[in-house]
Copies of this chain bind each other. A is one copy, B any other.
Amino acid sequence: MTNGKRQQKKEITRRAIVSAAVDLFSRNGYEKTSIEDLAKAAGIGKSTVYTYFKAKEEIFLAFCDEEFEYSFTALRDRVDAEAPLIEQLHALFMSQYEFVTSNREFGRILIRETLFPETVTSLAKESNQRYLDALGEILTHAKARGEIRPELDNFFLSAHFFMLYLGALSGFYTGYVTTTEDVGSGLRTLLNQALQGIAL
C-alpha cells in the first residue's frame, strides 16, 4: 500500500467533487454553484478542490464527461450505418443538439470552453477529438460506399460538418431560430450545401 492508498483516496475525493458537481450544477446551475458549495458537498475544504481541478471550468468539463459521456458514440452506434450520409449526420447532430440544449446553460458553456478555451489545454482538445474521431468513422464508411470524394481528408471533413452543426447551434443561442424543427431544417440546408457543393 506504499503509494496506492494515497492514489485511491485521491480518486475517491475527485469523484466526490464531480458527483457534487453533477448534483449541484443540475439543481442550481453552473453560475449559481460556488466552489465552496461544491467543497462543502464533497466534504472537503474550499481550496482543496484546487488540488484536483485547476479551475471551475475544469470541473465543468468533468461534469460534462460524466453526463454526456456516452452520448455521442452511443448515438453514433444507433444511427443506421447504411443510411445516406446526410441522414446519418443529420440524425447524429440533431440528437446531440437536443442533448446539449437540454439545459441551455450547459450547452453554451460547453461550447465556449471546448471551442474557445481561455488557455490551450489538452482537455478541451481531447473533448473535441472524440467528436471528430466519431465523425471520422462515419466518413470512412461513406467513402467506402463511394458516397463521398475519397481524396478529401477526414479531419477537414469532420471539422467541416461539425462547424455546420455548430452554426445551427449558434443560431439557437443567438435567437435566429427558436424551434427544434427550424434548427433541424437549417442544419439540413447547410449539410446539403456542403455535400452538393456551392459552386455551379
Using CB atoms and an 8 Å cutoff, list the residues of chain A in contact with chain B.
Answer: 85, 108, 111-112, 114-118, 120, 124-125, 128, 146-149, 152-153, 156-157, 159-160, 162-164, 166-167, 170-171, 173-176, 186, 189-190, 193-200
Contact = CB atoms under 8 A, between A and B. Distances in A.
B173 A125 contact: no
B108 A118 contact: yes
Contacts of A186: 156
A200 B149 contact: yes
Q: Which of A108, A186, A193, A196 has the most CB of B within 10 A?
A: A193
A152 B128 CA distance: 30
Q: Which of A115, A152, A197, A198 has the most CB of B within 10 A?
A: A198
Given A117-B173, A162-B167, 16 more contacts: A85-B199, A108-B116, A115-B170, A116-B173, A125-B176, A128-B174, A148-B200, A149-B199, A156-B186, A157-B193, A160-B164, A160-B167, A160-B198, A163-B164, A166-B167, A195-B199
Contacts of A175: 120, 125
A189 B116 contact: no
Given A167-B159, A190-B160, A152 B115 contact: no
Contact of A174 (B124, B164, B166, B167): B124
A117 B199 CA distance: 33
A167 B163 contact: yes
B199 A197 contact: yes
Nearest to A199: B195
Contacts of A164: 160, 163
Nearest to A167: B163
Q: Top 10 A-B pairs ranked by shortest CB distance? A: A197-B197, A120-B175, A163-B167, A195-B199, A163-B163, A115-B170, A116-B173, A108-B116, A156-B189, A112-B112
A112 to B, nearest CB: 5
A194 B196 contact: no
A173 B108 contact: no
